[in-house]
Structure 1
Amino acid sequence: MAQGIATEQDGPPGGERTGGRFEPGWWLVRVLGSVFIAATLVSVRPGEFDGTEWAVVAASALCWVAFALLDTRYPRSAVVVLAVSSALPSALTGPETNGSAAILAGITLLVLASHMTPSVPAILAACGLDVAISATSCALAGRPLGSTAATAAVLLLVTLMGLNRRQYRVQAEQNRLLVEQVRRTQHERARAAALDERARLARELHDLLAHSLGALSVQLELAEAHLEERGDLEHGLTHVRRSRALAAAGLDEAREAVAALRADVPPLPVAIAALVEGYRLDRGMHVDLVTEGAERALPSAVSVAVLRVAREALTNAAKHAGGTPVAVRLKYGVGDVRLTVRNPLRPGDPAATRGGGYGLEGMRERVALVGGTLSAGAESDGDGPSWALTVEVPA
């Protein structure tokens, strides 16, 4: 786990940054460590260390300074230097008597154990090496066993303290990453919700435009035929006025498209009956409507979905099978509602392509949003081939 957070050789130090942010506590550890090392060296009385021992202590202090300088850019190299800095004074714990060497070794070992770059086994290996060096130094100097054990215990204790601090920092980093992941997840959910809303609005606009503009086009074609081919001003103006009414109705539907999914809608049989009547008047279609089963209240989303599919199906029937009778059947079943729109297929009708494109796909998406299914295709019965669209929604 620690290795997964460790920083690379040439990058930000694992002990200095947390998620790209400088950690002030780590700088405090460096400053305090430098102060303690300096104070320990100053407290050494003249004559306590000989020339070789002073060289060892100076080398340890220089390694500490090198660690502080390298840790910013080269944390792995800095950790190696820090391990050397802790091992050197461990070799002096036997000959010196005031505990200065043990303090130096303990400070550097504490910082090493709390660093994020080395692995836990590497930290334990460094601690074991320091303990072994210290025990060997004490044995060579003839120190009593109790003093040797006390020095080893101090080194082990500071290592455990450093590991505890390290574990706390690991958990803090994991918590930060978890919070960041939750934030990103929430952002993706919001983005997905926005995309779903765009798709819903696209379906609404398609349904409204297909219905309103289709009916408007038929009325304008009739007006053109009466005015240009027959010179029938009265009937031409009638169709023009009807076109203006359709345009006004289309604008009203567009304004209410979004509110329709949030507001209460009329009972489904009433809404479909009004839709069928509109197609009879606007398109001159022969549409039969049959309602079966016990009517009951439906969720607004289900009613809107079925109503929009009925409108799209009637628009397709008017486009591909103009002049043929259309049968609309609304059935309330046990736990579901089924709508079927059926019309005969004319000779040469390209049934294989009917209902394709964004219309059929939009209907399927709309029905899927309320947990329903939609099927469309050519069928054969006693009255000949026909095209049928069926939608079934649990409700």
Structure 2
Amino acid sequence: MTTTPEGGHFIDRLAPGWLVVQFLGTGMLVVALVTAREDSLWIWGVYAFSVITWILFIVLHPWRPRGAAAVLAASALVPALVVGAADDSTAVILLCVMLGRFTSLTAPSGQLIAGVTAVCLLLTWISCTAADRPLSDVLGYPLLILVLTLLSLNRRQSQLRAEQAEQLLDQTRLVQQEQARAAALAERTRIAREMHDVLAHSLGALTVQLKVAEALIEKGDTQAALARVRRSNRLADEGLTEARNAVAALRGDVPSLPAALRDLVAEHRASHPGEVTLDITGEARRLEPAAAVSLIQATREALTNAAKHAAGERVEISLDFGDDAVHLRVANSTPRDTLPDADHVPGYGLTGMRERIALVGGTLAAAREDEGRAWVLSAEVPV
């Protein structure tokens, strides 16, 4: 098996394909005219007309392809009238060059090409019959023209396929560019939302704690004020961690989801009473940064709500890596009268968590279970 050298076929590296065909056609015209034996002036007039129209075609083709095709169609019809009257095959050569080049063009429609070809074949047959040419010429000339025309049509189909492939490639590039631009905008929006939520949650809670601490200091209750300051310190640490997670998602260096959840469990155990369990099932694999961060933030918010509304109660976290999705479930026991309302969960709130999960194609739900004795948050993101 031979392979095409890099850069295309040898003839394509010399000049564009259409230019090579023009040169070859011009050479055939020159050879035909030089070797012509016809003395009749009107036949030479036909030859001159063919040459002039060929030159016009070469000039017009790069800029006016449809006009060039019309000129070439006219130049192909004229030699067909003198095929029978000519003493040699010059007219046939002219006709083959003109018609072959015309049928290889992509500008004219298929119906026009078929019509011009049919008229040329008919005129050739009539001309040969009227001039009492031998049967070999009457049958051979149209057959030769037909074969060369079919070869040119094959070239036309190849050109059309190449043009369609190029157009499809251009469209694919445009679609990919638009998809990349849309993905970049969506990622920027997601990061901006994450940072907004982090700042709104952390700074808002921090402001409340510091205002309370200030009021307690004014009353002289330094111990309570110190507790509020310590709480403010923890809130600042949590906000800084969440901001780092958002930036890590932007850079794509988010830690693995199981490792991040283990860190959250360890932080919760160190800061709050009560038992926290983590159960991971399925084959763990790395998720997209946005999906991993959304599940990490949902778990963090669920633990924060459990500490606030069910301090000291047991919290169970389960993470399952399925074939098509990753499932997260955080459940905590809590007295029914202290359960948060489903639409007013403190912190980011269910609405914010749902929106962040939805941005990565996932779903999130939170509801009471076990006759109101448990609060369960469930999230799922595709892989």
Asked if Structure 1 and Structure 2 have the same fold, meaning a TM-score greater than 0.5 normalized by the shorter chain, the answer is yes
2:94 paired with 1:104: yes
Q: CA distance change for structure 1 residues 268 and 119 in 2, over 3 Å: closer, same or farther?
A: same
Q: Is the 2:33–2:90 contact (alpha carbons within 8 Å) kept by the matching residues of 1?
A: yes
- CA distance in 2 between counterparts of 1:373 and 1:275 reads 25
2:339 paired with 1:339: no
Q: CA distance change for structure 1 residues 174 and 300 in 2, over 3 Å: closer, same or farther?
A: closer
Task: Kindly state the Cα deviation for residue 44 of structure 1 after the two structures are TM-superposed.
Answer: 2.9
Task: Kindly state the Cα deviation for residue 100 of structure 1 after the two structures are TM-superposed.
Answer: 0.9
**AA at the equivalent of 1:330:** E
Q: CA distance change for structure 1 residues 32 and 337 in 2, over 3 Å: closer, same or farther?
A: closer
Specify the alignment match of 2:167 in structure 1.
Answer: 177
Q: Is the 1:207–1:308 contact (alpha carbons within 8 Å) kept by the matching residues of 2?
A: no
Give the RMSD, CA atoms, in angstroms.
Answer: 4.2
Corresponding residue to 1:225 among 211, 215, 224? 215
2:311 paired with 1:311: no
Q: CA distance change for structure 1 residues 35 and 338 in 2, over 3 Å: closer, same or farther?
A: same
Corresponding residue to 1:149 among 136, 139, 146? 139
Specify the alignment match of 1:18 in structure 2.
Answer: none
Specify the alignment match of 2:40 in structure 1.
Answer: 50
Corresponding residue to 2:350 among 357, 360, 375? 360
Q: Is the 2:369–2:376 contact (alpha carbons within 8 Å) kept by the matching residues of 1?
A: no
Task: Kindly state the Cα deviation for residue 135 of structure 1 after the two structures are TM-superposed.
Answer: 1.3
Specify the alignment match of 1:33 in structure 2.
Answer: 25
| Most deviating of 160-169 and 230-239 | 230-239
SS of aligned partner of 1:374: strand
2:155 paired with 1:165: yes
SS of aligned partner of 1:88: helix
Q: Is the 1:265–1:304 contact (alpha carbons within 8 Å) kept by the matching residues of 2?
A: no
Could you tell me which runs of 5 or more consecutive residues in structure 2 were left unpaired when the two chains were aligned.
Answer: 1-14
Q: CA distance change for structure 1 residues 357 and 50 in 2, over 3 Å: closer, same or farther?
A: farther
Q: How many residues align?
A: 353
Corresponding residue to 1:275 among 248, 261, 268? 268
Q: Is the 1:328–1:339 contact (alpha carbons within 8 Å) kept by the matching residues of 2?
A: no
SS of aligned partner of 1:136: helix
Q: CA distance change for structure 1 residues 328 and 205 in 2, over 3 Å: closer, same or farther?
A: farther
Specify the alignment match of 1:122 in structure 2.
Answer: 112
2:377 paired with 1:390: yes
- CA distance in 1 between counterparts of 2:259 and 2:319 reads 19
Task: Kindly state the Cα deviation for residue 183 of structure 1 after the two structures are TM-superposed.
Answer: 2.9
Could you tell me which runs of 5 or more consecutive residues in structure 1 were left unpaired when the two chains were aligned.
Answer: 1-22, 281-286
Matches within 5 A, 1:210-289: 210-228=200-218, 230-232=219-221, 236=225, 239-240=228-229, 243-244=232-233, 246-248=235-237, 250-257=239-246, 258=248, 261-263=254-256, 265-266=258-259, 268=261, 271-272=264-265, 274-275=267-268, 278=271
- CA distance in 2 between counterparts of 1:300 and 1:52 reads 83
- TM-score, with normalisation over the residues of structure 1? 0.71
SS of aligned partner of 2:87: coil
Could you say which structure has the greater relative contact order, defined with CA pairs below 8 angstroms and 6 or more residues apart? 1
**AA at the equivalent of 1:85:** S
